[in-house]
Structures are given as C-alpha cells and as structure tokens.
Structure 1
Amino acid sequence: MLFYSTIRYYIIFVRIFGKMPRITMDLLRKRSEHNEGEISTLEEISLHQENIERIELLNQACRNLKILLLQYNLISKIENLHKLKQLEYLNLALNNIEIIENLEGLESLKKLDLTINFIGNLKGVKTLRHNQHLEQLILSGNPCCDYDGYRDYVVATLPQLKELDMVQIERSERIKALQRYAELQDNILRDYWKYADFRETQKSSRVKITEIENQQNKKEENEDDDAKFWSAPSHHTPEDRIAIANKIMKREKQQDNKHFEQQKKKYVPKFFNPEGKPYNINQPKISFLLNDEDDREHITLDVAIYKHLDTSYVDVDVQPNYIRVMIKGKILQLVLPCEVVTDSSIAQRNVITGNLLVIMPRIQKLTKLGSPLISISSKNTNKKNKLSIRAASEVTKRELLEIGPPKNNFKDLLEIVKEKNKLQENLIIKDNDFKDDPNVPLLE
C-alpha cells in the first residue's frame, strides 16, 4: 500500500506542478568551467541549488568523477551512479531521499553525506557493506536519527566506518554495539513502522492539499493567496519542500515575465512622420555640428563621439535627405538641408579627439556669390562721374543644428546699426576727380 500511495502522490504532483530542471550537457559544461568545459576528464563537479529532481547523464558523461556535490536539490532517489568507479566523495545533503540504495557500484567511495534528508528505513544501511572503502557517513537531520539505538545499529552494521555523523567511532563502542545487535534490529524495525504510518498520513493529507491548491491555481492568484501560502506552517516533508521550490520558481518566472514586458514597453522612437519625412533624433544626447555654409560643394557633420569608444560600436548610414549615426545602439538622425550623394560620402574618426567627421557631397553644387561692382550713373552728371557699389553678400548664416556650447551668433540692435554703417562704407569712389554735388539725391 505504501508503494502504490507514493506512486499516486507523484502522479498527482507532476500533473499539478509540471517538470523540474534536469541535468543536461549544457548544465555540465556550465559547471565545468574550472576544467575548461571538458566533461569527459572532469574529476569534480558541483550541481548544488539547481532544483534537480533526478540523477541522470553522469554515468555516461562524467565517468572520471572523484567528487560529486548534489546538495540542496529535490532528488528523491539515489540512482544512475553505478558506473562512477573512481568516485570518492558523494554529497546528497538537503534532498528528498528516503532510502539508501544503488550505491554498491561506487567501489572507491570514502565519504557519503546524507544530511537533512528523509531517511526512515535504516535497512538500506546494510547495502553500504559493499562499499569497503567507506570511512565517513553523515545521517544527521534524518528521521532515523531519532530511533532508539540508531548510532549503535549503524556502527555494528558497517564495520569499515571510522566516523559517523562527524564523530569518530571507538573500538570499544563497536564491540558494545555488536553485543546488542539483535536487540537493536528489533528496536529499529519497530520505530520504522511507526514512522511509516506517520508518513502515510502525511502523504494522504498532502494529496488533499495539493488538489485544493490545484483548483485555486485555475483561478487568478493574488497577493493574499501568496501571503497565505508563506504564512502556513511547514511540516518538513519531501512534498512541502517540492511545493516551496515550485512556488519560488513560479515567482521567479513571474518576475522574469514582468521584466520582459517592461523591456517590450520601452519607448521606440519614430524615425519618420506620417508623410514619410524624417525626424531629427538625438538619443545619445551627444554634441554635434552640421555645417552646410562654409563649403559650397559639401555638407559636413562633426559628431563628438567618446574618445575611447571602439569604432565597431559606431554605424553611419547616409541617405539623400538625412543621415543616421548609431552609437552603441542609440540613434542620432538629422535632416539634411539639401540632397547629397550617398556613394561618395566619407566617414572618418579623428585620431586625437575621437570625433566622427562625415563629409557628404551635394547633388547640386551652390554657385559662388562674388562681390561684383555695380555702376550707377545719374542723368545730371557726366559719364565720368559714376558711383560704384560693391554688392553685399546675400548669404546669411543661420543657426546650426547643434547641441553643446552655443555660439554667439545672435546680434543685438547695436550690431545691426554697425552693419548699416559698414554698407555705407562700401561705397568706393573710382574717379579721383569726383566732387560731391548736393543737388544729386542720395542713393536709396
């Protein structure tokens, strides 16, 4: 009956909580970094705190193991270790093991740690007689430690032991234990049946609880249900340990999902308006200077990229009417004042400052505005008396699209007056014989 009830509980529990993490080749490679990821020659591996439920794959992949650490998992059965002939130390502390079994093939085993498991059947201790080199055995924290005559029974059963529960075994202690061996067997057997009945009650009650939790899980869980679970008393059983582990895994999964959703909701910039025209974007908030006035044939963009930033993190995309510079995944996009030739554009870094300079040829070159002399004659004057005026440049500087220390391009009212005076000073008299005639009206 005990066996069938255990199977029934396991099936119900798997249906409710699903599969646990398993030992895989990826996990073995991850935990064998100290051996440069080489698994076949591995002599020591630690697979603790991985929520592993079953021992597998180690027989085939890691036959040269000498130290195997599997503590703090959810392993319920000792299995698939018989090919590890060189294994000397096996740590299965803080698991869900209820019986000692399947260790006969570990010919070199010297130390076995089963601290804080659920071992109630001490008959499994007899199977350790085949491990002739076993010197240390730790069973502290198991239900069997409360049995009447537990220590004497183990000492008498395993003559090769030198230390039990980190306490050295004296020769006189072994002699006394052997003298009481028949009595100890009866006491151990009687206590075990009491414990077996108690475990049967625990399992049946736990099955009912899991069925209720399964119905609740179908509904939407809230914070109150979570608080009730953690405030409820724990009975320190394998089932409770698995339930707690599943609850923790479920919470971690929910947190990962929330983090993933938050990443999805991150702001995604719009590069173009509904009409297809590009926007000006400066995600890295970096200083730049777009100059289209000093050179009539080219447009230049000077971006103040971080001096020590590797060029592999910078990507430049020149389009006819805009330019896009990606700096470590962040985008600087600028609308160009005119169309440029993309194939002939050049991008280069300054070796000293690290700045990025992009030179983009214009498709239509601007005509150079010179300063021709314009002659104006008056009807009342001779042909010799001519006024010559040098044409002022029609190009005016505009405020550049830049971020950083602003340049002093704004002019106040006094500067405007000065410019007007300069225009009047541009009147150049070509004829030295010219005489000012007050009857001639001033030029406007």
Structure 2
Amino acid sequence: MVRITEQLIRKRAEHNECEIYTLEEISLHQQDIEKIEYLDKWCKDLKILYLQSNLIDKIENVGKLKKLEYLNLALNNVAKIENMEGCESLQKLDLTLNFVSEVTTIESLRSNYFLEEIYLTGNPCVNFEGYRQYVIAALPQLQRLDGQTIEKSERIQACQDFDSIRLKILQQQKEYESKKTDDEKRLQSSGNDAESKSEDNDKTEEENADFWNSKCDYTPESRKEMHSKMKENREKKSKPMFEKPEFKRTKRYFNDAGDPMNINEGKVDFSLTETEDDSAFVLDVACFKYLDTSLIDVDVQPKYVKVTLKSDVLQLVLQDEVLTDKSTAKRSQTTGHLVVTMPKLNPPPKPIQTTNKPDTKMKKNSSKNVKDNKKTKNIETLEYDSSKSMQNTLANITKEEKHQSKGPLTLKSKKKLVNKEQMIQSDDFIDNPDVPPLI
C-alpha cells in the first residue's frame, strides 16, 4: 500500500520551493495511492488537487480544504460521493472512470453552492435510466454535466419529474448491487481454482500476453490487479538481464610488501611541496571552508602522511623520512585549507657563508673616508679671526686674487667681495697706505 508522506509531497512541491504549508496546487497522479490522508492538515491552502490514476476507493480527509476549487479523482476505485460538504469553494469535480453506482449519494453536494461542473463518465450510474435528469434536478447549482451544458428547459423538466426518476434510480441501484455481489463470488471461486492449478509465481511472456488480451469484468478488483501487473513489469524492466553478484571492494592502504600507497578517496585537491631550504615538506589540503575540524584526522608517519576527511582518506608517500614529533597541522581561518608542515629527518646541509662581504664593507668605508677628507680640505672659510693680525689676513686675500683669472666674477668671488666690504666697515679696520686698493 502506497501512502501519502511528507517526503512525497515535498518532492511534488518543487514549484513552490518544497514548501508544504503555502502549497496551492499539487499533482499526485500515478502513484498507486490507496488512501487520501494528511492533505487537510499539511496543505490547508490547496486550490487544485490531482489524484487521478491511483487506487483510491473512498473520498475522505478533504472536508477541511476550504479553498479547494478543483478535485480530480479520475481512474480510481471510488464507489460513493461523500465527505465533501466542507469544500466550500469547490467548483469542479472529476470522477471519470470510477465505480460510482450509488448515484443518490450525489445529493450530499447540495451545500456546495459554487459547484458548476461534474464528470461521471465511465461510471456504472451513467447506464441507469434517467441518470442525467436525476443529477440535474438533485443539484440545481450545476452548469455542466459530463462536458455538456445544462439548458433551462432541461432543468425545468427534470425538476418536475424528480420524484418518479428518483424511484427508478433507487431500484436500478439495488439490482446493480445484487449483480455485483454475484460477480464477486464467481471471481473468488475462479481465483481459487487458478491458484490450485498453477503454484509457480513466475509467468512466461505468453501468459503475460494472455493476461492483457483476456476479457474481465470492470471492477475495482480487476483494476487493482492491473496496477499490480504494471508494477511487476516496471520492476522487471528496471532489473538487469543477468544479475551480477554483489562485490564489496576492500580498502587497501598498503601493498603486499607492506609499503604505503598513494590514495585519494574523496578526490580532494591538494599540493605537496618543499620549503625553500628543502628542510621540510608542506602539504596543503583544500578542505571545505565550513567543515568541522572534529571531522578531520591527521596521522603523520616517518614515510607517509594520512589525512581523513569524514570517511574519505588522503594518503601520500613521502620521498624522505620526516620527524613526526615536530610536525604541525594548522588550518586557515579564511579558506579552511589544512596545512601540514613535516620537517625532514636528514635535511640537506646549509651552504657555507663566504667572508668577502666584510672586506667590501671596509673598502667602501675607507673610500668614503678619503672622499670626506678631500671635501674637508677644499673647504675655505672667510671668517675673521681676532688672534691673527689684520695685515696677514689682507695679505692672504691679495695673494688669492692674483691667482684668480680676470674673467667675469663668479658667485664665490661676489661673496668674497661682500665679506671684504664688511671687514672694511668694521671698527677694527686699520687703513695702511702701503696696501694697494682693492679692485
């Protein structure tokens, strides 16, 4: 028995982002459902409900769907029209190809004032004499019956003959029920004989063809048998012709010689590199950013490293032995990557540093000192020293002027003249007639 479950409804509610409470339309056709349940509790806003091509034999658990406008129960095993008084907004009801024989149960829909259209094509009650006139008179709010519009004249005549037509319908219902019970007894006896003759459950293709070609009575039991046969055929098609024995692959992390192997079960992105000085291995594993650290396990061995992410194992063989005690494992807070640093047991020797560097520094320092000395020698000051006599200072100035060229004055010579004029204007100046005048 297939039942309506929350998982089934969510699967069929993809158009509503798998939300059930606000669902307005759902299609549950061809699911072999035998009972209507939970819809009036989980989907109270339903407006359209498709339940065709199932095995439902009773209308129930829809009375609380106040907003339901269209209910499709075609190709089911419904025998009575009942439990729909609470569907206040119901406008259309489809019961095509069911087993409604008690057509008088349609009178329960008189309180559904918005009901405009009903389909009862393919039901046993359609063959009753006066069926259409009875339904039209029983439901005055109907506008269409079995796809045909109801005329006013037709409605007036049906209402006039309603009492006589209703008596005929009741008599035909009783005859149909008695005939139905006789057919059921006959089918049960024939079914028991068939079971005693054939004990094998497996049927050949010929028997399968005979089943579909043989004639049978139009009953709910025959429909259930047909659905079960269709289910068997679907299962046979889904199964392979030759079933292979189940083979469970054993996980191996070491070969027959006991050496570790490279394994990446989860197909995780990683990179195994060495540091610049080749003193350690660095393993970068691209873990998921929001993966809980408690689900990550790191095992560093001298010749291999093993990282377990949930249940997937990443194992890598190392070219050199590493120090397990000094190995570290850290995780990035931004990307979530796992970084495992493994120092080597025998790292390569470091290159010896040459002593040429300090000599070059000394040379540079000595060259700087020589340049500084030259600069200090070339610096000349024109400041007045009171310890020296004025005559010596003037004599030195005249000597320097003789050696200078007679070209245009430079900035330096201009500065010197200014200094000389300042000296002449000073109070300590002594005018010596033997000294030639300044040019």
When the two structures are superposed, what TM-score results if normalisation uses the length of structure 2?
Answer: 0.60
In the other structure, the counterpart of 2:225 is: 243
Alignment pair present for 1:96 and 2:96: no
Q: Which residue of 1 aligns with 2:155?
A: 174
Q: In structure 2, do the counterparts of structure 1 residues 154 and 254 end up closer, same or farther at CA, with 3 Å as the change threshold?
A: same
Number of equivalences: 342
Unpaired runs of 5+ in structure 1? 1-19, 350-354, 372-444
State the SS of the aligned residue for 2:136.
Answer: helix
Match among 260, 264, 277 for residue 278 of structure 1: 260
Change (3 A) 1:67 1:220: closer
| Preserved CA contact (<8 Å) 1:345 1:361 | no
Q: Matches of residues 238-387 of structure 1 in structure 2 within 5 Å?
A: 238-249=220-231, 265=247, 267-273=249-255, 277-281=259-263, 297-299=279-281, 317-320=298-301, 321-324=303-306, 333-342=315-324, 344=327, 360-362=342-344, 364-366=345-347, 368=349
Matched, 1:162 2:146: no
* Kept after mapping to 1: 8 A contact 2:35/2:58: yes
Mark the CA change 1:316 to 1:227 in structure 2 (over 3 Å): closer, same or farther: farther
Equivalent residues in 2 for 1:30-179, closer than 5 Å: 30-32=11-13, 34-35=15-16, 39-179=20-160
Deviation at 1:298, TM superposition (A): 2.6
* Distance change in 2, residues 1:229/1:83 (3 Å): farther
- The 3 A distance-change label for structure 1 pair 266 and 212 is farther
**For 1:53, what is the secondary structure of its paired residue?**
coil
- Of structures 1 and 2, the one scoring higher in RCO (CA 8 A, sep 6+) is 1
Q: How far is the alpha carbon of 1:170 from its aligned partner?
A: 0.6
Q: Distance in 1 between matches of 2:22 and 2:275?
A: 69
Distance 1:301 1:88, change over 3 A: closer
Checking the alignment, whether the CA contact within 8 Å between 1:162 and 1:168 is kept in structure 2 is yes
Distance 1:155 1:187 in 2: 15
**Distance in 2, Cα, partners of 1:29 & 1:289:** 42
Question: How far apart in 1 are the matches of 2:114 and 2:267?
Answer: 69
Q: Describe the shift of the 1:103–1:369 C-alpha distance in structure 2 as closer, same or farther (beyond 3 A).
A: closer
CA distance in 2, matches of 1:277, 1:207: 70
SS at match of 2:93: strand
Contact 2:327 2:340 in 1 (8 A): no
Measure the CA separation in 2 of the matches of 1:220 and 1:83: 44
Cα distance change of structure 1 residues 189 and 311 upon mapping to structure 2, 3 Å threshold? same
The CA deviation string for residues 386-425 of structure 1, in whole angstroms up to 9 with x for no partner, is xxxxxxxxxxxxxxxxxxxxxxxxxxxxxxxxxxxxxxxx
Taking the aligned partners of 1:322 and 1:36, their CA distance within structure 2 comes to 47
Q: Which runs of structure 2 are paired with 1:16-35 in the superposition (5 Å)?
A: 20-32=1-13, 34-35=15-16
Q: Are the aligned partners of 1:136 and 1:164 in contact in 2 as well (CA < 8 Å)?
A: yes
Calculate the TM-score normalised by the size of structure 1. 0.59
SS of 1:130's equivalent? coil
Q: Deviations over 1:44-87 (max 9, x none)?
A: 44333332212223344444443333222211011233333443
Distance 2:263 2:184 in 1: 64
How far apart are the structure 2 equivalents of 1:290 and 1:226?
Answer: 65
Query: What letter is aligned with 1:71?
Result: Q
- Conserved 8 A contact 1:318-1:345: no
SS in 2 for 1:184: helix
Contact 1:296 1:368 in 2 (8 A): no
- Deviation (angstroms), 1:334: 3.5
After superposition, the CA RMSD in angstroms is 4.8
DSSP-derived class of the 2:60 partner: coil
Alpha-carbon distance change, 243 to 323 in structure 1, aligned in 2, over 3 angstroms: farther
User: How far apart, in 2, do the equivalents of 1:246 and 1:219 lie?
Assistant: 17
Give the stretch that moved more between structures: 200-209 or 53-62: 200-209
Give the CA deviation at 1:139: 0.8
Aligned to 2:118, what secondary structure does the other structure show?
Answer: strand
Distance 1:222 1:369, change over 3 A: farther
* Displacement of 1:164: 0.6
Distance 1:299 1:94, change over 3 A: same
Does the 8 Å contact 2:80/2:105 carry over to 1? yes
- For the residue of structure 2 that corresponds to 1:334, the secondary structure is strand
Any conservation in 2 of the 1:118–1:238 contact (CA below 8 Å)? yes
Q: Structure 1 vs Structure 2: percent identity of aligned residues?
A: 41
Output the amino acid matched with 2:146: D
* Cα separation, 1, equivalents of 2:183 and 2:47: 37
- Shift of the 166–268 alpha-carbon distance from structure 1 to 2, 3 Å rule, reads farther
Q: Measure the CA separation in 2 of the matches of 1:33 and 1:288.
A: 37
How far does residue 239 in structure 1 lie from its aligned partner after superposition? 1.5
Secondary structure of 2:110 counterpart: helix
Contact 2:321 2:346 in 1 (8 A): no
